[in-house]
Amino acid sequence: MSQTLATLLADYQQMALIRRFEEEAARLYGMGLIGGFCHLSIGQEAVAVGVVGARAPGDQVITSHRDHGYALACGMEPRAVMAELTGRIGGASRGKGGSMHIFAPDQDFYGGHGIVGAPASLGSGLAFANRYRSNGRVAFVVFGEGAANQGQVYECFNMAALWRLPALYIIENNRYAMGTAVERSASEPRFYRRGLSFGIPGVAVDGMDVVAVREATARAARHVRAGEGPYLLEMKTYRYRGHSMSDPARYRPRDEVERVRRRRDPIQQLKRLVLTRDPDLATELDEIDKTVQQRIEDASAFAKASPEPPPEHLLRDIYSA
């Protein structure tokens, strides 16, 4: 098997894992086992998998509230992520962070952040530390097109360009932000151009194609790592669910989601590509699906069985004067 085909199969496995995980999270939310906010990335799997797949060892990833997919793509165990969603002690943040605050610094994943636009500021800080230490690492800074209108984002662009920070800014454009179509909320909807006034180059990428995402991210990372300064990627993607589980998404046409699923679903597109390369891999793809389903069932069972944090943990992991 060629390495390219092996990579495609690995990407398929990761994307299927994220899809099944998010579907199970939706089910547990409906049962009342997940509380608070829960933002799913069903439909956006190719972005997380392609971006993370282009990292070099030591590169950091930081993202916003829609973070489950990135956590899994960075190598976190589904058990730890699912238990965190259910607020259990077996979770990645010991059940204290929930859906929007999942971290794994040992895997260079710096979260999940609920404040809109925060990844731009914090991620630029990671990039500044990389430059200060001359360690050759790149900070992959991910946020949505809704956050791209925040003032702090442009302050970060300015500083990153001035100091030639090794920051790769990735805007996930799923077209609806928190509930408003991008055409109604952005005077410049071509988000890859948002850095041009600061001298930051950018390109638009088909975020439903994991191969395109991986290749574009790898090219941009090479630019940044070479000391050429920051770069901006606009990932044009689509989410099948609303902004969060409490959002019925009535602001878009009823048939739009089904039309995208039918024509552009990232997992089905990748599956077709694999089978075009080698039709005999149909059985292996089926086995991957079965293995993924078993892992998600295991993660769900673990999350349900894991106890809640005891009361004495309430004052742990906080700062005091």
Average pLDDT value for residue range 19-37 = 96
The angle formed by the CA atoms of residues 141, 126 and 44, to the nearest 5 degrees, is 20
- The alpha-helical segments, DSSP class H, found in 31-150 are 45-53, 68-73, 78-85, 118-133
The angle formed by the CA atoms of residues 247, 238 and 149, to the nearest 5 degrees, is 80
* 22 neighbors 42 (Cβ within 8 angstroms): yes
pLDDT band at 320 (very low <50, low <70, confident <90, very high): low
pLDDT band at 39 (very low <50, low <70, confident <90, very high): very high
The pTM assigned to this predicted structure is 0.95
Cα–Cα distance between 155 and 160 in angstroms, integer?
A: 9
pLDDT in tens, 217-236: 999 999 999 999 999 999 99
* 289 neighbors 19 (Cβ within 8 angstroms): no
- Determine the 3-state secondary structure of 266 from DSSP: helix
- DSSP codes joined into one string, 43-64: T-HHHHHHHHHTPPTT-EEE--
Q: What's the token pair of residue 262?
A: 């039918």
pLDDT in tens, 124-175: 999 999 999 999 999 999 999 999 999 999 999 999 999 999 999 999 999 9
Q: What is the mean pLDDT of the chain?
A: 95
Predicted local confidence at residue 271, as pLDDT: 97
